[in-house]
A = this chain, B = another copy of it.
Amino acid sequence: MEMLKQMILSRGTVKSGGVLRVDSFLNHQIDINLYQEIGKEFYRLFGSENVTKIVTIEASGIGIACITAQFFNVPVVFAKKSKTSNVADDNYVGHIYSFTHQCNNDILIHKSYINENDRVLLIDDFLAKGSALEGLIDIVTTAKAHLVGAGTVIEKGFQGGGDKLRQAGIRVESLAIIDAMDEDGTISFRN
């Protein structure tokens, strides 16, 4: 998605440790026109898939999922990060490992909001090692829903999560895939 790539190049900054900061337009301050173009693009990619529900994870996935859901005219469900292991029986639980915060997190979706009749599109802002998507896929699988695929805005291709999921047969569409980046500001996109 050309508009997104241009914005990453002009307004993103590369930090040490493979961190790309896109705070100014994607996940702290939000450029709402960009979000609308992102939603349109996900609809172009997945619009023929009879999606019944868009599933994401708090916090920064929620806005993108909501804007995207308008094009599909379906509900959003966002997985909540659990602070306790005291989880009631009425939730599906996925497990994710945060490489940023170096800790395990459970994520929860109430059982009444996803079921075997659903065709689920996963949406998230970032795809790096794929842990968040794997946690969501666990939940979709446990709920016996059909996974249409995953749409992510920025994929750090060099961290391998997206390709691992694709090799497992999951349709993953990322609007910009970064195959290499450098603290001097050089960013190489996959074609």
Contacts and interface: CB of A to CB of B under 8 A. Distances in A.
A73 interface: yes
Interface in A56-80: 58-60, 62-63, 65-67, 69-70, 73-78, 80
Given A24-B113, A66-B66, A83-B101, A31 B78 contact: no
A30 interface: yes
B28 A75 contact: no
Copies in the complex: 2
A42 interface: no
Nearest to A30: B76
A29 interface: yes
A156 to B, nearest CB: 21
Given A58-B59, A59-B58, A110-B23, A28 B67 contact: no
